[in-house]
Amino acid sequence: MTSKAESSRLPLFSRWGRTCPGKARCSSSTITSPLLTTSVESPSDFLKANMSEQTTGQAPSLEPGTVADAKLVTAVSTLAAASDVKALGQQNENLRARVAVLAKEKADARSEADTLQAENAALRQEMSEKEKGFMKEVSELEEVLEKQREACRRSEDERERFQYVLACTGQEGSVPRSVLASAPDSLLFEMFYGECDYARDDQGRALITCHPERWTAVLEHLATGAVPAESDPLLLAQARHWKLNRLVEGLEALISGVTVTNDEEDRGFKARCTLVSVMEKLSGGKGDVSYTFPGPQGRLWAVKISTAGVMLGSLVPRTLQPTNVADLKGIKVSPTFRVLLRTEALVQASVPVNFPSREESFRGFAWLKWGYGLQQLLSEPLAKAHGNLVIEVEVRYED
């Protein structure tokens, strides 16, 4: 028999064994109680029963020092470990499932990304092709625009040019407006601006009746102001037809002679003298070069130049009989001298001059008075024609 004190020190299972309703007895090797047998075989049910006994306040007891105690502890430990392992296994399965889901999502995302990249590449390719198409279209439009601009420039240039064709040879050509503008009083300038009617061909070009060589000389004069060095009566006729006054004057300067225009009231005259190859004549032994011409009131006049200057002279007409020379009275005149150069006219006006009766007398101006020497006046670019001199003398009778 065990005392009460010793009984209190027994293990729970030993105490539980003695109070067990089945009168279970434990030995060193066997547990004969059906309850314990069930508990060992089914640890889970045993735990539940043990928890029930503790709740009701009835503590199970076993015999002390038995193998059952150790096995029971081991079973409980195994039960706890198994429960932990099962929980961990479940967590592992959950994690594996989650990883699988994430892997699938990742694969889907990667597939979607690949699809988007392929679509992006396709869009880039499409945009590149469209850009090339646009650039080609722009280039073609710019080329068309440039051609239109060139056509406009040609059209504008054509409008700014006088189109012509020579009637005798069919030679075609054009003259810029700027060249025609060098002779604004010419007939060609008037034709260009439609100020006069003229013959045209079926293309609206002017039909020019002129020899090609003389037409070339006309165009050269318009472009450069050049005047041929030799006299050409036919070119002079063309220059007069086209109203090219500078060319007319230059060509007339090549024709030696004098032109006199008397005043309507016989109170004076204007003499235009063209002296050709002046220096050759002066250096050939002649002291002067002169032109003699009749004037109003039966008087005879002369314009004479020398290396010293230019002079106007009153002469005794040779047709007068010696007995009539005494009848030639003196005269008072106001002469004005003009030296006609290519681009200007030098003018010297004299105070009234008395020419005595019955004798020859000359009055004029030295070359130094004009501001140039004779050699300068006979040379380019001053002279109308090299070596020639055009002098105009206007005389007004005072009484």
Of the candidates 48, 74, 100, which is a domain's last residue?
74
In a domain, 118, yes or no: no
Q: Are residues 182 and 279 in the same domain?
A: no
Percent of the chain residues past pLDDT 90, beyond the cut: 30
Could you give phi then psi for residue 315, rounded to 5 degrees?
Answer: -115, 160
Q: Are residues 212 and 296 in the same domain?
A: no
Of the candidates 74, 89, 108, which is a domain's last residue?
74
Question: For 258-323, what is the HEC assignment?
Answer: EEEEECCCCCEEEEEEEECCHHHHHHCCCCCEEEEEECHHHCEEEEEECCCEEEEEEECCCCCCHH
Q: Are residues 202 and 336 in the same domain?
A: no
Q: Which tens digit of pLDDT belongs to each residue from 164-187?
A: 999 888 899 999 888 988 899 999
Q: Are residues 317 and 380 in the same domain?
A: yes
In a domain, 308, yes or no: yes
Of the candidates 250, 276, 291, which is a domain's last residue?
250
**The token pair that represents 77 in the structure block:** 């430990």
Q: Which tens digit of pLDDT belongs to each residue from 298-355?
A: 888 999 999 899 999 998 776 545 445 555 678 899 999 999 988 889 999 989 999 9
In a domain, 376, yes or no: yes
Q: Are residues 197 and 273 in the same domain?
A: no
User: In the prediction, which pLDDT does 45 show?
Assistant: 53
Residue ranges making up the domain that contains 290: 255-397
Number of domains in the chain: 3
Q: Are residues 323 and 238 in the same domain?
A: no
Number of alpha helices (DSSP H) and beta strands (DSSP E) in the chain: 12, 13
Q: Are residues 315 and 334 in the same domain?
A: yes
Distance between CA 299 and CA 296 in Å, rounded? 6
In a domain, 129, yes or no: no
Check residue 29 and report its DSSP letter: S
CATH of the domain at 238: 3.30.710.10
In a domain, 17, yes or no: yes
In a domain, 126, yes or no: no
CATH of the domain at 268: 2.60.210.10
Q: Are residues 374 and 329 in the same domain?
A: yes
User: In the prediction, which pLDDT does 47 show?
Assistant: 47
Distance between CA 338 and CA 272 in Å, rounded? 9
In a domain, 343, yes or no: yes
In a domain, 89, yes or no: no
**pLDDT tens over the chain, length 399 residues:** 444 444 444 444 444 444 444 444 434 444 444 444 444 444 455 445 544 444 444 444 445 556 777 778 888 888 888 888 888 888 999 999 999 999 999 999 999 999 999 999 999 999 999 999 889 999 999 888 888 887 776 666 667 888 999 988 889 999 988 898 889 999 999 888 877 888 888 888 899 999 999 999 999 999 988 888 788 889 999 999 999 998 888 888 888 888 899 988 888 999 999 888 888 888 877 778 889 998 888 888 999 999 899 999 998 776 545 445 555 678 899 999 999 988 889 999 989 999 987 778 899 999 989 888 888 998 888 888 888 889 999 999 987
